[in-house]
Amino acid sequence: MLEFTREYFPLYLRGAVIGLGITVATMLGSVALGLVTALGRVSGNRVAQALGSAYVALFRGIPPLVLLYVIYFGVPSWASSLGIRVVADFLAPLNNRIIATVIALAINSGAYSTEIIRASIGSIPVEQMEAARSLGMSSWLAMRRIIIPQSARVAFAPLGNEFITVLKGTSLASVIGVTELMRDAQLAAASTFQNLMAYTLAGVFYVAMVIVLQYFVSLIERRFAVAHK
Amino acid sequence: MGERLSPGPGREGTSNAHVLFSALDRESAVRGTVDSPVLRLVDVEKRFGTTTALSRVSLAINRGQTVAIIGPSGSGKTTLLRCINFLVPYDSGRIYVNGRLIGYREHQGRLLHDREHNVNEIRKRIGMVFQRFNLFPHRTVLGNLLEGPLYVLRIPREEALLRARAALELVGLTDKVNAYPDQLSGGQQQRVAIARALCMKPEVMLFDEVTSALDPELVDEVLSVMRRLAQEGMTMVVVTHEMTFARDAADRVAFMDGGAVVADQPAGEFFERPSTPRIGAFLRRLSAR
């Protein structure tokens, strides 16, 4: 057992780092997407509201694995069969496994981020908006300077949970051959036939990463709380 | 944020209030001006569903005047204030701030909703202080004071800092520059809220029951700041239940009942000779407490 761990530890560690990298990139996209969609949903614009709701309804419903297949296998082949050069070139990056993974996971996770950010904006008392408006701020300026900074504190902890969900979700990328932690475990299992050992070690890696992440999230959360007291 | 207020041109102990008030304000306060009103309401009406919140309210307030608005709860006092800076859109009538119609533009005698930008332009000139302070909790006292001048008025930082310092001196809170709102008492928070409005150099200030949420022993510190403002020549509309303040700090008292202004008199006259039995009863009930 020790021998297996010693032999495969570097490989697993590399896989973990790749998974973590994918998670960071995914969350950047997810939060950006979530912020735009949440702002659309709280705006007075009917079209923006409808688009936001549709996005959430659609992508919260599609399993991430299905979305990953559509984006990695479906979209590029459709683009090349279309025969339009510009479209094919534009969608060519989806042939890259990691880029396809990040986009699929970000679109999926963005639906959850939207709901988190929308709820956090909704948790800020309306009087804050009124105070900002009474200073002559436009609704956008009030959002940017007053509402969003306050809701960021509220959203931080649930977005931290979302980060952990995405991290575990990166294991799905193994099915399209991204050599992250899960894929490395499959390779180790295949070459040693020690299935239990290979996958248990992967599990231990995930648990360790999640515990460390959770620690940092609560650390930063406490800092937030202190800063205003 | 560790920002410090640099010592200003005024020496220790001298007032920097001139940064916030023009000489004109003080002069007009002394004269008790008769020139064109800063605020003019003409037949303003507001309904919420089937209830009438404001019915044909007309009011004119000259530069440097302080008008106290009193009346039983639900009489429309707060709604009136919120219509003045268009936080609540009124249904009909006209509200002019410095001669400019707020919230609407007139087109062939009809009122059309004005662009948000134009409403904001007028709001910059109206300071509002709320019952529940509504300071920005994520910003320090200084941050609260700089927010409007820097991001709405877009004046240079040095000038905004000068204003912030003058405003904090006026409300007596220079030692709290770097405190966060929830480190302050209610009275201190309300004084910061007044300072925040002052930093915009408003033409008129609206006070919405600003002492109602305070512990009794904190009321005076806020009222004395408001008295000082009245002396400096600020034009003020003060919705209040503080009869002593209305009597000796206000020039006029408007009494509201059922959404209408039923009396609008010089303060002394209002309290000495109540013009209707209803007002007499209201005043007696308050003084009985």
The answer to whether A146 contacts B182, with C-beta atoms less than 8 Å apart, is no
Q: B185 pLDDT band (50/70/90 cuts)?
A: very high
Range with lowest mean pLDDT among A54-63, B63-72, B269-278: B269-278
The answer to whether A149 contacts B138, with C-beta atoms less than 8 Å apart, is yes
- Chain centre distance of CA B204: 6
- The ranges assigned to domains in chain A are 2-228
* Interatomic CA distance for residues B131 and B272, integer angstroms: 29
* Interatomic CA distance for residues A143 and A39, integer angstroms: 9
Q: A80 pLDDT band (50/70/90 cuts)?
A: confident
Show which residues on chain B lie within 8 Å of chain A, measured between beta carbons. Answer: 85, 87, 116-117, 120-121, 123-124, 126-128, 130, 132, 134-138, 147-148, 151-153, 180, 182-183, 196-197, 200
Q: B12 pLDDT band (50/70/90 cuts)?
A: very low
| CATH 3.40.50.740 holds for A2-228 | no
The length of chain A in residues reads 229
The length of chain B in residues reads 289
* Interatomic CA distance for residues A54 and A56, integer angstroms: 5
The answer to whether A135 contacts B200, with C-beta atoms less than 8 Å apart, is yes
Residue type, A65: L
DSSP state for residue B102 in the 8-state scheme: P
Residue whose C-alpha is closest to residue B94's, from B108, B107, B104: B104
Find, in chain B, the residue whose alpha carbon is nearest to that of A225. Answer: B138
Q: How close is the nearest chain B Cα to the Cα of A142, in Å? A: 10
Q: Which of A121, A134, A141, A223 to probe the B interface (max B CBs under 10 A)?
A: A134
- The H or E element containing residue A4 is helix A2-42
* Interatomic CA distance for residues A38 and A40, integer angstroms: 5
DSSP state for residue B182 in the 8-state scheme: G
Q: What is the pLDDT of residues A123-137, one digit of tens each?
A: 999 999 999 999 999
The answer to whether B134 contacts A130, with C-beta atoms less than 8 Å apart, is yes
Q: What is the pLDDT of residues B21-55, one digit of tens each?
A: 876 666 655 555 446 789 999 999 999 999 999 99
The model's pTM: 0.86
Residues of B in contact with A131 (CB under 8 A): 128, 130, 134-136
**Is pLDDT at B7 greater than 70 in this prediction?**
no
Which of helix, strand or coil describes residue B165? Answer: helix
Helix extents (H) in A43-135: 46-61, 64-69, 75-82, 85-91, 97-122, 126-134
Per-chain mean pLDDT for chain B: 89
Find, in chain A, the residue whose alpha carbon is nearest to that of B139. Answer: A228
* Interatomic CA distance for residues A42 and A118, integer angstroms: 7
Which tokens belong to A218?
């609560």
* The residue to which tokens 């709320």 are assigned: B130
- Chain centre distance of CA A211: 18
Share of chain A above pLDDT 90, in %: 79
What number of H helices and E strands is found in chain A?
Answer: 11, 0
Residues of A in contact with B123 (CB under 8 A): 133-136
Contact A201, A8 (CB under 8 A): yes
pLDDT of residue B13: 46
**Is pLDDT at A32 greater than 90 in this prediction?**
yes
Which tokens belong to B1?
């944020």
Find, in chain A, the residue whose alpha carbon is nearest to that of B152. Answer: A137
Backbone angles phi, psi at B264, to 5 degrees: -150, 95
DSSP state for residue B134 in the 8-state scheme: -
**Is pLDDT at B9 greater than 60 in this prediction?**
no
* Interatomic CA distance for residues B272 and B10, integer angstroms: 43
The answer to whether A145 contacts B134, with C-beta atoms less than 8 Å apart, is no
pLDDT of residue A229: 46
Find, in chain A, the residue whose alpha carbon is nearest to that of B1. Answer: A227
The answer to whether B200 contacts A136, with C-beta atoms less than 8 Å apart, is yes
- Chain centre distance of CA B224: 14
Helix extents (H) in chain B: 23-31, 77-84, 116-123, 141-148, 157-171, 186-198, 216-232, 243-249, 267-272, 277-288
Q: B110 pLDDT band (50/70/90 cuts)?
A: confident
Show which residues on chain A lie within 8 Å of chain B, measured between beta carbons. Answer: 127-128, 130-139, 141, 145-146, 149-150, 153, 227-229
pLDDT of residue B81: 95
Residue whose C-alpha is closest to residue B85's, from B245, B200, B228: B200
The answer to whether B116 contacts A138, with C-beta atoms less than 8 Å apart, is yes
Which of helix, strand or coil describes residue B113? Answer: strand
The answer to whether B120 contacts A136, with C-beta atoms less than 8 Å apart, is yes
DSSP state for residue B46 in the 8-state scheme: E
3-state helix, strand, coil in chain A (%, to 5): 90, 0, 10
* Mean pLDDT, rounded, for A76-98: 86
The answer to whether B138 contacts A135, with C-beta atoms less than 8 Å apart, is no
**β-strand B100-101 against B104-107: which pairing, if any?**
unpaired
Which tokens belong to B157?
């930082």
The answer to whether A130 contacts B196, with C-beta atoms less than 8 Å apart, is no
* Interatomic CA distance for residues A224 and B18, integer angstroms: 38
Residue whose C-alpha is closest to residue B198's, from B27, B16, B59: B16
Q: B5 pLDDT band (50/70/90 cuts)?
A: low
